[in-house]
């Protein structure tokens, strides 16, 4: 089910997530969200309890690396090479 709501940006750069969206996603005060921007699109995602923010942010990179066949050993070699410069 898709929900569309019109939001308005405040002078402080804040937006209010509509109640219908908060209820559907079970968002509560204090919940952490991460925002991604691509061109003119903003996507927000709830960061779950016990979920590591670094893992959330690096997931697209891990997927891309896997699709290219990059291994952990490749990454370790690249890091070692960069550090030796």
Locate CATH 2.10.260.10 in the chain. 1-48
Note the CATH architecture for domain 1-48. Ribbon (2.10)
Q: How confident is the model at residue 2 (pLDDT cuts 50, 70, 90)?
A: low
Provide mean pLDDT across the span 8-17.
94
Q: How confident is the model at residue 1 (pLDDT cuts 50, 70, 90)?
A: low
Residues 13-41 as b or e (16 or more Cβ within 10 Å = b) = eeeeeeeeeeeeeeeeeeeeeeeeeeeee
Rounded Cα–Cα distance for residues 50 and 66 (Å)? 25
Give 14 or 62, the one with higher predicted confidence. Answer: 14
Alpha-carbon distance 5 to 78, whole Å? 45
């Amino acid at each position: 089910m898709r929900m569309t709501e019109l939001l308005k940006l405040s002078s402080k750069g804040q937006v209010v997530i509509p109640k219908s969206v908060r209820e559907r996603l079970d968002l509560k005060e204090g919940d952490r969200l991460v925002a991604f921007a691509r061109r003119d699109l903003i996507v927000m995602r709830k960061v779950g309890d016990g979920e590591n923010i670094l893992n959330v942010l690096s997931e697209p990179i891990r997927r891309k690396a896997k699709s290219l066949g990059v291994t952990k050993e490749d990454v370790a070699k690249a890091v070692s090479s960069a550090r030796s410069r």
